[in-house]
Amino acid sequence: MQIYLLRHGIAEDARPGHADSERALSIDGREKLRRVLKRARAAGVAPDLILSSPYRRAIETADVAVEALGYQGKVVRTPALLADASPFDAWEEIRSRHDERSVLLASHEPLMSSLAAFLLGSPALQVDMKKAALVRVDCDRVGPQPKGVLKWMLTPAVAGE
């Protein structure tokens, strides 16, 4: 299974009296996501399923991915992708979708970097997941403990333009 970890793009600043879960992507955040996802599409990224945190900025990130990658399915929202969720719970969510060839997850820090380390079998590994970064990890099996292989990481700076 190809697993794509997509950290949400830059979001608007928190505003007093407004829930953190309602922060939207900024214009700059959307642009950087589009740059990364345009490169990803050119590299053949075509997820069979997109999962998202239920927070607005992650949902909007998933929506940009839908558009940029030509995804035809429905985005599935799951609390297993909230920022403070456990990598194990996120893995269980992925495992429950074992029939899919490739899955893209739109989520937050610190989950994205800790999930990348967990998928690679090294929870102590430090992964610097920039906003709008996309990581591909391949897992040949979906047992209780993942055995993933890091294929690549694409950041807005690398995506250029």
Q: DSSP letter string over 2-52?
A: EEEEEE---BPPP-TTS-GGGPPBPHHHHHHHHHHHHHHHHTT---SEEEE
pLDDT value at residue 161: 61
The domain in which residue 92 lies consists of: 2-159
pLDDT value at residue 117: 97
Q: List 148's β-bridge partners, or say none.
A: 139
How far apart (Å, rounded) are the C-alpha atoms in residues 146 and 119?
A: 5
In the chain, the number of structural domains is 1
pLDDT value at residue 160: 82
* Ranges under pLDDT 70 in the chain: 161
What is the CATH number for 63? Answer: 3.40.50.1240
